[in-house]
Structure 1
Amino acid sequence: MPNSELSLSPTPAPLARIMRSGRVVVCPIDETLLLVIGAGGPLADQLPVEIDEDATIQAIASIIGWRLAASQGSATHGFAALVPVDRESSMPTTLRFGKDGGGKRYIVAPRTVSTGDVAAMLKELAGPQVVHVLGRLVDVLMKPPLDPRKLGAVTTLLKAGIARDGYIELLGESHDDAIALKGWAHDMAAGVCRAVVRAEDTSLADCNVAVFPRNDAPEDAVGFLGLLSADDLPRARDIQGIFYRGRTAWRYLAVHERKFVAGPLETPGHIRAMLLQSQSSPQVLLRLREAANGFDGTETISSLPLPVRLGVDSLYQGDEGAFLISGWMLDPDDHVQSVRLRRGRAEARLDGTWTRTERLDVEDAFADRPEFKSAISGHRRSHGFIAFADGLVGDPAAPLYLEVTLRDSRRAYMPLHPTRLSARHAALRLLNAIDPTSWALPEIVDRQIVPFLTAARANAPTIETVIDVGRFGEAVGAAILVAVGDAEEDFAPLLGLLALDPYTRQAPIVLVQQSEQFRRRAARIRQLAEFYRLPLRLVSVEGSGDASDLARTAAQAMDNETVILLSASLTPANPGWYQTLVANYETKSGSIISPTLAYEDHSIRWAGSTSLDRADHLQSSRYAGYPVGAVNRLKLTRVQTASLECCIMPRAALLDDTGVSPTYLGASLKGLDLALVLSRRGYESYWLPVLQMLGSDEASGAVSAATARYVERVDQTLFRGRWMQTVETEGTAHNEVST
């Protein structure tokens, strides 16, 4: 079918009358270009055009001319001219082609025509020459800049009169912005050609082409292997065909109805299978070899014939496409140019921002191998790396892999399977895996973990299960809300204390846990509640292990308007503490009231906070270290923020939309963050010295004692980034008002 043509638009009014009368018809391409169709004598390829008999308004026209099969009066040649114009003015009425006021004058037909009409006219005027005329016209239109309207005109012209030339039998998707093609054609030439890709949305692409002999193709046809490259290519399965610039003219390649669409992992193998027998320019063959060397789902780093090896110890995927990766790379001779984490078309370069760590175990593992023995020196031991990667939010089903590019342009790959965790748990796991004495740990915290937590935005936690034990529905009064965090492994004694107090054993108690903890402990908690005859509601929360998030989520499963937050790690030091808190709250309804937090030796841990007045003071806790006897006679005191480890507050405060907060690793600064937000929303905070709760400083069970100070460093960095600029701005404004 190489000589058949695509369908044409209906021919407009007969052209003979227009040509005999010295008229031209005009098709507006865009706001700056007109396509003019006419007939007359032979014209040069470029001529000045005088518009509306005004010698000051001239443009240089590009002209495609041809001899008419049959002369029409004095007209022996037809022409298609592209005339640059200023469309802000009205459509021209006359055009004069020629120099110095001479040349041929044409009257512009009052009615413009469409690009489809132009194609039909050219078929009538050019006859069998229409393919070459349209091809030359398209070549001129394709010169940059090529805006969407020009591309639309090009597509219409190509559809109207370009001959079919073969078929595309295979379309191959890739991880890069490229699509592989395989098929046969008559006019296809090796090299790089321009192509217009037909799909729902037409796009323009470059096509790198190699050709090879095919015995199963029609006579004089060759097989071809192509690679389409562009920024806006459609999906391979959506391509209907391509128009391409062949050796002699523009041609059309249709996609065969029995096409095969290869996935990104299959495409490199199809290219490799045909590449050895294909011929083209060195540049094209290099481009095809790169595509053939693409990721096909297999690990190829370990088979490199160079002393380069790489391994991954852990890969955590947080929220919003954020990743935290820990591994090692042995490259003693500096063969590696770059290391990238890739998913589909998204990528993140790791080697420019990663933190290197000492890994003697890696060096020892390869020291006896001949290819590494001579290259490894005792002076370079930073073979490990930890890196944060962001922005890989493409198709979650697309494979994730590492791409190592060598300095000689070769590439090798390692497929990866990330562990899906919340950003908080991922960071805690990584911190626990690092040697706490490592000199690189501060840089890992500042350059990898903090950015990872900042980029990852956790989804809002949700209630998974609610179970009532005892007569919870009949209990009245302020509800005691116990949020069980990571560190609270054994809270049975707290349930026993609540059962011994005549007031608390009648109060509604809500105990909330993260879903994983809930599944392990629900049966035991239920047994204890039934034994103590406590009115208890068990709440399982999916998506968070942070105590503040647990409490705020559990508040949705309560009807009580007043809530007493109580950390499972605290122990009441005073009898009657429940009714004392409730009585003071009744005098300050709608506020947040906290007791003194003390150590088990009855020295003060927290006794009210002052304002955050300087960037190096996160929180000034008054009387810290004093014995509780020094303050227990003081009255209810207004403070900057309450402690959410233990407080009485309105349930509405927990349900307030406080916006997105950083993903803190510990509970202390997360609680302070929420307390500051509530303070700025108008909730007054008070400290009640007469009551004390006993407990130790936060010691998260999720990290070792040696790593705990780095957890604190992470949280302080996140907290300062969120609040210090606000605090300093407020302090400056306060000083200016005072002055």
Structure 2
Amino acid sequence: MKDRSTKADITAAVLLDEDTLMLFGAIDQPLPAESVVLLDGTADGRFRGGGWTDGAGERWFLATISVGGLAHMRPSRIEILDGAGGRLSLPRLSNVRTNPAHMVSALGEAQPQSLGAALDVAVLLIAEDCVSAEADRHRRLLAGLAQEASRPDGFAEVLGRFRDGALMVQGWSHGFPAGDHRVLVESDDLRVHAAAAAPFHRPDLPDTAAGVLAVLEGPAPSPGAIRRIHFRADDGWRHLAIFEHRQILADGVAAAHARDMLGQLQGEPARRVVATAVAARYNGVETVSQLDVPVRIGLDLAVRVVGAGLFVSGWLLDPTRAVRAVTLKGPGLAVRIDADWSRQSRRDVSEAFAHDPVFAGRLLPGDDGHGFIAFAREPAGLPAGADFHLELALADFPAFLPLPCPPAAGEAMRRMLGAVNPDSPSIDRIIANHLGPMLQTASAAALGKAAPATLHAMGRTVKSPRVSVILPVCDGREDVDLNLARMANDPDFAEAEILVVAGERAHERLAGMVRQAAGFYRLAVGFIEASLAADPFEAIAAALPHARADRVLLLSPSVLPTERGWLSALERAIRRPNAVGAAALAPVMASPTLLYEDHSIRFAGIVAVEGPGGAVTYERRFAGYPRDWLREQEASAVDAASADCALLPRDLLARALAERGRFLGADLKGLDLCLRVRAAGGSCLWLPKLRLVAVDEQSRSTRDPRLERISALVDQWGFAKHWKASIAA
């Protein structure tokens, strides 16, 4: 098949977004409604077109070309596949604009009598794109055409919004179409809405006009912001103007008002369409329990993390599979949660309804998978106090369940975690699809709020400290006097400042003990109150702004030195990175070897091990081995040092903490910190011949072990997602 020759003229070309170009012009033969477009014979994309013939018999068209990254291309040849194997060539584009007003002006000059037909085509081509927040130029183009092509035809006199964002309009018109169709609602911008409408008799109107009741699918703009409602009548585009003394119904009233109007509507098909649309509107009332079909639903928990979404757990009893979809709805939100929810066994639900006559003979023994867990992401800009509900789609009409969503405070989060069984065979999917995204967003929001910290100077003063020692205390201990005594007995710490950080679970007697020890040992101590710091890493972040030295020593209260001079050894190591193969001049985070009390190895560096298929696992080297295994070892670069005892530059630590990971617990924060140190341009160093004891203490945590397990699983998922690696067991 040879290429078809065509005579065409491109009158205007406007870039609607980064990937979409709209063309207007004249052509001597029909264009396909939808096809493939080729740019310079290689880059391909989607072509959509439509046209009309003017009074002089000339054929005009509007078309869109959609190609990824089109805004950065300058094609010299545009070809459209015609469906028969041939190619139809369009002229080269010479003047592409970005202002939609240029397209409207060109249409008005070239085809003033066909603006209605042009608007028909434009709605067909780009209406579906107007729901996107990025589709500003699409909406401006439709708005410009509507203002030029649409003529007044009646008024909207009563407006009100349903709870789900849909709009009710009551007024009068000569030609507003009955049944299902689409309208353009003009406010600050212009949006396309599906509408269900029916006429009703108004004795105050001439025979050629009638009252109109319409339901416009949401989300609709505020009724007070609406300027016109454009619609396609039999003889062209018309609009309802907004009556000067319009009535705007209070929130929640629209549903009752529309139901009261149903009996006045004319034309059974149109009345039925509007009745169905009204019945589909949520009015704040639970209606599932009123169903005469065997469907019931219950809510265990609904939690919202503002900016992330909603976590919902509950049960749905539907033995006859009457429910076609379960959708979580709110203002500007409609997410079908049954598409990927996780089901759970709920034998208690089966037993509770076993003798209910509605379910008699329909519940099968052992079929107890009624529970569900779901997470619905929310769009940007959703109000903090928004109302939500579940919509159950049935054969004839939907049913509703309100969703009270408490804020994601500590107790709500604990209940959410408690709703999940960590031993479920689908736990990986539950975490990846539901818990993980929500909880990590919640923890990220918490990271943005630095724990308030108050500094209290104790003991003597050091003008220019050699090092800032950060000693985080978040586990209820009150015996850090032993740590202070060890440092007081080491000349390396004579000119150090010691920052003792009292975190969330710090003992009330800790400050008094630290003050007494600082005075007795003549140490320069800063006691930092950071009561919102939930773990040592949050405590370190709270203390860092108070550190005055250029180098910071992170030191866990569980780490006890066995000899003097170890700080000097760390300082020498970070001043000589090239000696161990680190990058020249790279800042270094250095750690000693940490031993258990029986002198077996607790920490000897963490390294990345690549397995089959390129999978990376981080492993603790020599953990549990006798210390004699380190006899021949030399200082070496590792993938991660130990945050329990590490010396590093203060600015390097600040950069790493600025982008620290989003974890629920502290177990992976140390490894994550080290990887972020390396991502910030640093390196990690392990010193095998420098050895300190790290006491293996009993956990002082009072958290529910079940919650601990779920938190750990979520953190492992988040770590693997960010670093594309796992943790060795």
Q: TM-score, normalised by structure 2?
A: 0.70
Query: Contact 2:143–2:186 at 8 Å: present in 1 too?
Result: no
Structure 1 residues not aligned, in runs of 5+: 1-27, 35-58, 64-79, 88-113, 123-133, 728-739
Q: Any residues of structure 2 matched to 1:143-162 within 5 Å, and which?
A: 143-146=120-123, 152-158=144-150, 162=151
Query: Contact 1:529–1:536 at 8 Å: present in 2 too?
Result: no
Query: Contact 1:315–1:326 at 8 Å: present in 2 too?
Result: yes
User: For residue 538 of structure 1, what is the aligned residue in structure 2?
Assistant: 528
| 2:317 aligned residue (323, 330, 351) | 330
Q: 1:382 to 1:264 in 2, by over 3 A?
A: farther
Per the alignment, in what secondary structure is the counterpart of residue 471 of structure 1? strand
Q: 1:689 to 1:447 in 2, by over 3 A?
A: farther
Per the alignment, in what secondary structure is the counterpart of residue 493 of structure 1? coil
User: For residue 649 of structure 2, what is the aligned residue in structure 1?
Assistant: 650
Deviation string 1:635-669 (CA, Å, 9 cap, x unpaired) is: 65543321112212221121115775653344333
In structure 2, what residue type is equivalent to 1:606?
F
Q: 1:330 to 1:549 in 2, by over 3 A?
A: same
User: For residue 303 of structure 2, what is the aligned residue in structure 1?
Assistant: 316
Q: Any residues of structure 2 matched to 1:330-729 within 5 Å, and which?
A: 330-396=317-383, 397-421=385-409, 430-452=416-438, 458-459=444-445, 460-471=447-458, 474-475=461-462, 476-484=465-473, 488-495=474-481, 497-498=483-484, 501-502=487-488, 507-512=496-501, 517=504, 524-533=509-518, 535-540=525-530, 545=534, 547-568=536-557, 570-572=558-560, 574=562, 576=564, 579-589=565-575, 590-614=587-611, 618-628=617-627, 631=630, 636-656=635-655, 660=659, 662-680=661-679, 681-696=681-696, 701=701, 704-705=704-705, 711-724=711-724
Q: Distance in 1 between matches of 2:250 and 2:596?
A: 62
Q: 1:253 to 1:444 in 2, by over 3 A?
A: closer
User: For residue 93 of structure 1, what is the aligned residue in structure 2?
Assistant: none
Query: Contact 1:634–1:690 at 8 Å: present in 2 too?
Result: no
Q: Distance in 2 between matches of 1:472 and 1:270?
A: 74
Q: Distance in 1 between matches of 2:636 and 2:142?
A: 75
Offset at residue 172 of structure 1 (A): 2.4
Offset at residue 369 of structure 1 (A): 2.9
Q: Distance in 1 between matches of 2:720 and 2:551?
A: 32
Q: Distance in 2 between matches of 1:650 and 1:176?
A: 54
Task: Look at both structures and tell me which one has the larger radius of gyration over its CA atoms.
Answer: 1
| 1:255 aligned residue (242, 245, 251) | 242
Per the alignment, in what secondary structure is the counterpart of residue 668 of structure 1? coil
Q: Distance in 2 between matches of 1:564 and 1:426?
A: 37
Query: Contact 2:313–2:372 at 8 Å: present in 1 too?
Result: yes
Q: Between the two proteins, what is the percent identity of the paired residues? A: 26
1:184 aligns with 2:172: yes
| 1:273 aligned residue (238, 260, 280) | 260
Q: Distance in 2 between matches of 1:575 and 1:293?
A: 76
Per the alignment, in what secondary structure is the counterpart of residue 297 of structure 1? coil
Deviation string 1:538-569 (CA, Å, 9 cap, x unpaired) is: 14386x7454354235313322222121235x
1:170 aligns with 2:158: yes
Per the alignment, in what secondary structure is the counterpart of residue 593 of structure 1? strand
Per the alignment, in what secondary structure is the counterpart of residue 336 of structure 1? coil
Q: 1:725 to 1:587 in 2, by over 3 A?
A: closer
Offset at residue 575 of structure 1 (A): 5.2
Offset at residue 209 of structure 1 (A): 1.8
Q: 1:466 to 1:642 in 2, by over 3 A?
A: same
Query: Contact 2:466–2:549 at 8 Å: present in 1 too?
Result: yes
Query: Contact 1:275–1:288 at 8 Å: present in 2 too?
Result: yes
Q: 1:546 to 1:206 in 2, by over 3 A?
A: same
Query: Contact 2:616–2:724 at 8 Å: present in 1 too?
Result: no
Q: How many residues align?
A: 604
Q: Distance in 1 between matches of 2:548 and 2:367?
A: 63
Q: 1:445 to 1:219 in 2, by over 3 A?
A: closer
Q: Distance in 1 between matches of 2:654 and 2:715?
A: 24
Q: Distance in 1 between matches of 2:502 and 2:257?
A: 53
Cα root mean square deviation, aligned: 4.4
Offset at residue 478 of structure 1 (A): 2.1
Structure 2 residues not aligned, in runs of 5+: 1-10, 14-22, 27-50, 64-102, 127-139, 520-524, 576-586
User: For residue 74 of structure 1, what is the aligned residue in structure 2?
Assistant: none
Q: Distance in 2 between matches of 1:191 and 1:457?
A: 49
User: For residue 298 of structure 1, what is the aligned residue in structure 2?
Assistant: 285
Q: 1:687 to 1:390 in 2, by over 3 A?
A: farther
Which region of structure 1 is more displaced relative to structure 2, 376-385 or 658-667? 658-667
Offset at residue 449 of structure 1 (A): 3.1
Query: Contact 2:431–2:717 at 8 Å: present in 1 too?
Result: no
User: For residue 94 of structure 1, what is the aligned residue in structure 2?
Assistant: none
Q: Distance in 2 between matches of 1:246 and 1:616?
A: 62
Q: 1:261 to 1:511 in 2, by over 3 A?
A: farther
Query: Contact 1:141–1:150 at 8 Å: present in 2 too?
Result: no
Query: Contact 1:298–1:413 at 8 Å: present in 2 too?
Result: yes
Query: Contact 1:356–1:384 at 8 Å: present in 2 too?
Result: yes
Q: 1:408 to 1:149 in 2, by over 3 A?
A: closer
Query: Contact 2:595–2:694 at 8 Å: present in 1 too?
Result: yes
Which region of structure 1 is more displaced relative to structure 2, 187-196 or 272-281? 187-196
Query: Contact 2:353–2:359 at 8 Å: present in 1 too?
Result: yes
Deviation string 1:588-624 (CA, Å, 9 cap, x unpaired) is: 3353222333444443222223443336662332322
Deviation string 1:415-445 (CA, Å, 9 cap, x unpaired) is: 23143259xx987764444445444444434
